[in-house]
Amino acid sequence: MSDQRIHEGDTSGSKDVQASGTSHDALVGDEGTGAPGAGAESGHLVERPGQDGELTRTWGNPGLPSHVYRRSDVDPKAAQRREREVATFFGVSTLGTLLFIVAYFAIKPDGEDLLEEVSLSTKLLGLGLGLALFCIGAGAIHWAKTLMPDDEIVQDRKPMRSSDEDRAAAVEAMKEGAAGAGLGRRKLIRNSLLGAMAPLGLLAIIPLRDLGPLPGASLTGTWWRPGSRVVTDPTGRPIKAADIPIGTVIHVQPEGIEKASHPLNEKAKATTLVIRLEPDEIQDQKQRDWSVDGIVAYSKVCTHVGCPVGLYEQQTHHLLCPCHQSTFDVTRDCAVIFGPAARPLPQLPLDVDEEGYLVARDDYQEPVGPSFWERG
Amino acid sequence: MALEQIAGKTANEIDERFGSANFVKRSARKVFPDHWSFLLGEIALYSFIVLLLTGVFLTLWFKPSHMEVIYDGAYVPLRGVPMSEAYASTLQISFDVRGGLIIRQIHHWAALIFVAAMIVHMCRVFFTGAFRKPRETNWLIGVILIMLSFIEGLAGYSLPDDLLSGTGLRITEGVLLSLPVVGTYLTFFLFGGEFPGEEIIPRLYIAHVLLIPGIFLALITVHVMLVWYQKHTQYPLPGRTEKNAVGYPFFPVYTAKAGGFFFITFGVTTLLSAFASINPVWLFGPYTPGEISAGSQPDWYMGFLEGSLRLFPNWETTLLGFTIPWNVLGPALIIPGLLFTPMILYPFIERWVTGDNAEHHVLDRPRNVPTRTGLGVMALITWLILLAAGANDLIAVAFNMSINSITWGFRVLIFVVPPLAYVVTKRICLGLQRRDRDLVLHGRETGRIVRLPNGEMIEVHEPISDARKWELTQHRVPQPAEIGPLTDANGVPRRRILAAKVRATVSRFYFEDRVEPPTPAEVHELESSGHH
């Protein structure tokens, strides 16, 4: 591979190309088709078939550039310096391991300033481990790049396709085997085997049936019952209607929900927001009928994919879901005014009992939470 | 030398049992082409190993259980709070196990890096055409690995049972519920009944630590073995052809470089985890279904799904008493399907269009395949817009803008920007090709202005080297496929005319705009006519 192929400043480009060409055949292949006869000698003008069948002339592959020696290849002192650098990396790695061990035994976070101690421990352990690992890597790569041979090696690449003889032999072997099994002749065995194998998949699916109960009607109802007291979540205090200031929002659950057989499942459905508006701000007749003195209750489960609708804007009376920003207008029966939710939040009909406490008049009149096929 | 003796003896014992000399003879000096972009896949592989190592450590303490306990560990603010064993044991790993927090953070960071490295690696493979024959299988394995990693990641960050991970599960439940006909059944089978139930964490746990990693391990093994067996691709540089592999030997150069790079990846991930806190679950508190914190965000690789959920219009149809929630089905199923299906099929689509049945081991320069590059950038931009839309609330806070207008902005961008990105990318590619053509024909501009005796001022151009000329002209530019005659020699109509017409149309879309690389004859002609 000659340097003299590269003639800086030579104006006669094409002549130059024709004149050069010293690399050996192993470097030269066709330019991408694998088609026979397209091979070229390096540096020469070559002809290759274009798509229309006509030959186009192009440059040949000039071959590998000449090897450039590194300082460490020619100067033993430079090589020794590189060796010391590599050793330094490995040395720092050992120090990192030591740091890790010392930090591990020296710091046992348990005191008053737990978070600070954990933070210090994490930083020192991480620094030690990080250095121990990184410096092994850095040393190894520095070694490879500066001291190991960097001559590029050329190896032949055979096509993935087997030779025609091998392919024929393979077909023959398969045919022989198939003939031995008599798959073509013994149709009864073949068909009954297929009949036995095909339904096997069912055996992998059917036993999964007991992964869970069938949905049934469990998605349609919640723990709210007629007369369920409305209590704060999570403190569980009943709420007197008269005690709620206008503009307040309270997170509530039905009283006694902890006694359910699966309290978390029930809470996930029954979680509700109680909001007090000025009575004349309510614009919807049904909403007013189900309210008590401007106090309304809505499901906290977003009708989009079920996140708790946790943000209430007091001035605009908007409820906002922090997950995907569905926005509901509380004064208009929680109609969707923005975002991906398709349905308003379901309203819980409210009442007050004889002691003045807020109660549910009934359960939600529609399924709460995200939509599903059978919801209707 | 003693070491050599021991090595020789060991090698002898092994060879007498496994006949390993034959393999070593062929493989020790196996050549691997070298390029920085080939390291991207390595980062993914090494992150996976880091995940396995740190994951095993975490399993020694983590308890995948919904059982309610009262916390009495080292972290005072949560003492006395009822929580699941899963959350309590995560706190234990963070505060009571020395080194537990750093390992947890390495595990989480490595997961983020793992997915990122795979995606960037996939971009490299796509834009350089490394997926072409014979490597389509490895492309498919790669796509499966990326999709699996989303599920693996979701399962992983759902395990601690803190408020954030519970919210992620709630959204997963909402998405599952939306599936027509089978939605409620699948949900009840997955969660063992209603949400959240007492089954989901142990089930996600076994999927996260055994099932999916097992599949990963098998697929990654095949992926790497295929790279070994089919040999690595190489860039079109002088000396590289379709019939050779040019690079450094596996032993010792790549053993040192690749082995060293594993330690570098592990080391950098560790340093990152030491100084950049990630997922501080103790701040979020235990999961309770009624609570949520503002600014809830999934891990970054789920961001495109989050974004598509946020952008999609609120459509829902009720038909014959059944509900189809398009507002969930669309963003969670249809949009990912539109992104991933073309990704899976792409190598086969391109082969059908080009009719190219040859093996390819020399990579494309992305500019030389303008349509593919344009399509790739279009898909990438679509995905990035969805990702950004997943952070619309954070953008709104950071720039003090209305979240409604940001959302609407993204809704417009998702339709406008990707086609624009396609056109612009393709034009840039063609422009770069023309520049390459100019370089070959006219040489490099030297900036030297010379005044000729007749007073004319010219800029001196310097011809580029032959090696460079070859680099810039070695690619082929396919012509659009012709339909050909619609009848045969006897006037009988050809069969499958429609397929041929479709293929011709797609082929025109691919190859109508093209820049032919100059031939030596053109250079010669130019020179003999006295131009530069």
What confidence tens digit (pLDDT) does each residue in B114-146 have?
999 999 999 999 999 999 999 999 999 999 999
- Distance (Å) from the C-alpha of residue B145 to the closest C-alpha of chain A? 24
Least confidently predicted of A8-12, A182-186, B284-288: A8-12
The pLDDT-based confidence of A341 (bands split at 50, 70, 90) is very high
CATH classification at residue B247 = 1.20.810.10
Contact A78, A71 (CB under 8 A): yes
The pLDDT-based confidence of A34 (bands split at 50, 70, 90) is very low
Structural domains counted in chain B: 2
- Distance (Å) from the C-alpha of residue B531 to the closest C-alpha of chain A? 11
Helix, strand, coil percentages (3-state) for chain A, rounded to 5, are 40, 15, 45
Spell out which residues of chain A touch residue B192, defining contact as CB-CB under 8 Å: 211-212
Return the pLDDT at B227.
96
Cβ contact B520–A43 (<8 Å): no
B156: nearest Cα among B81, B49, B54, B264: B54
- Distance (Å) from the C-alpha of residue B396 to the closest C-alpha of chain A? 12
- Which residues are CB-neighbours of A191 under 8 A, at least 6 positions away? none
Return the pLDDT at A46.
52
Among A55, A366, A371, the strongest candidate for a mutation testing the B interface, having the largest count of B CBs within 10 A, is: A371
Between positions 162 and 201 of A, the ones with CB within 8 A of B are: none
Residue B248 in this model has a pLDDT that exceeds 50: yes
Given B256, B274, B309, the domain boundary residue is: B309
Tokens coding B360: 């390819």
The pLDDT-based confidence of B530 (bands split at 50, 70, 90) is low
Contact B325, A306 (CB under 8 A): no
Residue A12 in this model has a pLDDT that exceeds 60: no
Number of H helices, E strands in chain A: 9, 14
Residue A16 in this model has a pLDDT that exceeds 70: no
Of residues B384 and B293, the one with the higher pLDDT is B384
Given B287, B309, B331, the domain boundary residue is: B309
**Cα–Cα dist A348/A238, whole Å:** 16
Return the pLDDT at B266.
98
Between positions 341 and 360 of A, the ones with CB within 8 A of B are: 341-343
Report the DSSP beta bridge partners of residue B248.
Answer: B32
The pLDDT-based confidence of A183 (bands split at 50, 70, 90) is confident
User: In terms of DSSP H, where are the helices of chain A?
Assistant: 13-19, 71-74, 76-106, 114-146, 164-181, 187-197, 200-205, 263-270, 285-289
Residue A70 in this model has a pLDDT that exceeds 80: yes
Cβ contact A155–B167 (<8 Å): no
Kindly state which CATH superfamily the domain A230-375 is placed in: Rieske [2Fe-2S] iron-sulphur domain (2.102.10.10)
Residue A271 has its nearest CB partner, among B75, B231, B289, at: B289
Return the pLDDT at A214.
95
Of residues A37 and B307, the one with the higher pLDDT is B307
Report the residue of chain A nearest B93, measured CA to CA.
A118
Residue B414 lies in a domain: no
Residue B362 in this model has a pLDDT that exceeds 90: yes
The pLDDT-based confidence of A42 (bands split at 50, 70, 90) is very low
Between positions 230 and 269 of A, the ones with CB within 8 A of B are: 233-234, 251, 253, 262, 264-265, 267-269
Tokens coding B41: 């896949």
Report the DSSP beta bridge partners of residue B245.
Answer: A155
- Which residues are CB-neighbours of B440 under 8 A, at least 6 positions away? B464, B469, B472, B473, B517, B518, B523
Cβ contact B193–A10 (<8 Å): no
Report the residue of chain A nearest B305, measured CA to CA.
A324
Residue B309 in this model has a pLDDT that exceeds 50: yes
Residue B229 lies in a domain: yes
Burial call B175-214: b when 16+ CB within 10 Å, e when fewer: bbbbbeeebbbbbbbbbbbbbbbbbbbbbbbebbbeebbe
What average pLDDT does the segment A69-83 reach? 94
Return the pLDDT at A28.
37
**Cα–Cα dist B375/B379, whole Å:** 6
Residue B251 in this model has a pLDDT that exceeds 80: yes
What average pLDDT does the segment B319-343 reach? 95
Question: Is this complex's ipTM strictly greater than 0.95?
Answer: no
A331: nearest Cα among A272, A371, A291: A291
Residue B235 lies in a domain: yes
The pLDDT-based confidence of A43 (bands split at 50, 70, 90) is very low
The pLDDT-based confidence of A27 (bands split at 50, 70, 90) is very low
Percent above pLDDT 90 for chain B: 83
Contact A58, A48 (CB under 8 A): yes
Q: What is the pLDDT of residues A133-174, one digit of tens each?
A: 999 999 999 999 999 999 999 999 999 999 999 999 999 999
User: DSSP letters of B185-208?
Assistant: HHHHHHHTSSSSTTTHHHHHHHII
Q: Residue A156: phi, psi to the nearest 5?
A: -70, 150
Q: What is the pLDDT of residues A207-241, one digit of tens each?
A: 999 999 999 998 999 999 999 999 998 899 999 99
Q: Residue A251: phi, psi to the nearest 5?
A: -85, 125
Residue A312 in this model has a pLDDT that exceeds 70: yes
Return the pLDDT at A38.
35
Contact B510, B353 (CB under 8 A): yes
CA count, 13 A, side-chain hemisphere, A325: 26
Return the pLDDT at B531.
52
Burial call B367-391: b when 16+ CB within 10 Å, e when fewer: bbbbbbbbbbbbbbbbbbbbbbbbb
B145: nearest Cα among B342, B379, B343, B382: B343
Spell out which residues of chain B touch residue A263, defining contact as CB-CB under 8 Å: none
Residue B350 lies in a domain: no
- In this structure, the dihedral spanned by the alpha carbons of residues B141, B142, B143 and B145, taken in order and rounded to 10 degrees, is 90
Of residues A193 and B529, the one with the higher pLDDT is A193
**Cα–Cα dist B215/B222, whole Å:** 11
Least confidently predicted of A255-264, B243-252, B496-505: B496-505
Report the residue of chain B nearest A38, measured CA to CA.
B242
Least confidently predicted of B36-50, B106-120, B389-403: B389-403
Tokens coding B523: 């250079």
Q: What is the pLDDT of residues B42-65, one digit of tens each?
A: 999 999 999 999 999 999 999 999
Range of the domain at B231: 33-309
What average pLDDT does the segment B152-179 reach? 95
Contact A90, A77 (CB under 8 A): no
The pLDDT-based confidence of A48 (bands split at 50, 70, 90) is low
Between positions 75 and 94 of A, the ones with CB within 8 A of B are: none
Return the pLDDT at A24.
34
User: A–B: how many Cβ contacts below 8 A?
Assistant: 409
At A33 the three-state DSSP class reads coil
Residue B140 lies in a domain: yes
Residue B421 lies in a domain: no
Residue type present at position B239: G
Residue B388 lies in a domain: no
